[in-house]
Amino acid sequence: MADVKSANNPLFLREEELRQAIELLFFAYRDFTAGPDEILKEYKFGRAHHRVIHFVGRNEGMTVSELLDILRITKQSLNRVLSTLIDRGFIEQQTGLEDRRQRCLYLTEEGRKLEQKVSRVQRELVAKAFREAGGDAVAGYRKVLAGLIDDASRDRILGRIQNS
């Protein structure tokens, strides 16, 4: 009765299934970012600052260009948040050793503390979801999300993310 449509029209089920997967991602992302957002608000920082701290923390010494590539924003946009992070002592720059035009980015002690604090709530949320879902589900999660990533950047990203 209830599945007349799906019984008669497998394409309908397929479309419905995909729409549900899309919504799931929307809601998951919404709640996944809620924790950090709240903490960062105390510092008057936003999601943009979070992203910078996150990626610099995971790629100490990365250059500004590399960061721009990852974030896919303009250097003017980045500069606004980056310079406040530097001014307020969460990030340091060091002139590149090989190429002195480059500014290599590092978290300060303060920056590392904030990164830890913010990342902790997010890691705890993901850990809970992983625990509840089980190891096989986690592998599936990885596979599907990897498939959503732009072909052009997938390898580079998975390269950094390759674990086991």
Partner DNA sequence: AATATATGTCAACATGGCTGACGTAAAATC
Partner DNA sequence: GATTTTACGTCAGCCATGTTGACATATATT
* Binding flag, residue 150, a copy of itself (CB under 8 A): yes
Tally: H helices and E strands in the chain:
9, 3
Least distance CB 121 / DNA (angstroms) = 17
- Choose among 45, 37, 32: nearest CA to 110: 45
In the complex with DNA, the residue whose CB is nearer, 3 or 98, is 98
* Binding flag, residue 47, DNA (CB under 7 A): yes
Which residue matches tokens 């340091």? 92
Binding mask 39-68 for a copy of itself (x = CB under 8 A): ------------x--x---x----------
Identity of the residue numbered 43: Y
In the complex with a copy of itself, the residue whose CB is nearer, 97 or 152, is 152
- Chain positions 71 to 110 lying near DNA, rule: CB under 7 A, are 72-83, 93, 96, 98-103
Q: Judge residue 151's burial from the number of C-beta atoms within 10 Å of its C-beta, 0-12 exposed, 13-18 middle, 19 or more buried.
A: exposed
159 binds, among DNA, a copy of itself, none (CB under 5 to 8 A by kind): none
Long-range contacts of 100-105 (CB under 8 A, 24+ apart): 102/63, 102/64, 102/65, 103/63, 103/64, 104/61, 104/62, 104/63, 105/56, 105/60, 105/61, 105/62, 105/63, 105/64, 105/67
* Binding flag, residue 72, a copy of itself (CB under 8 A): yes
Residues that bind DNA (CB under 7 A): 44-49, 51, 63-65, 68, 72-83, 93, 96, 98-103
Residues that bind a copy of itself (CB under 8 A): 13-32, 34, 51, 54, 58, 72, 119, 122-123, 125-130, 132-134, 136-150, 153, 157, 160-161, 163
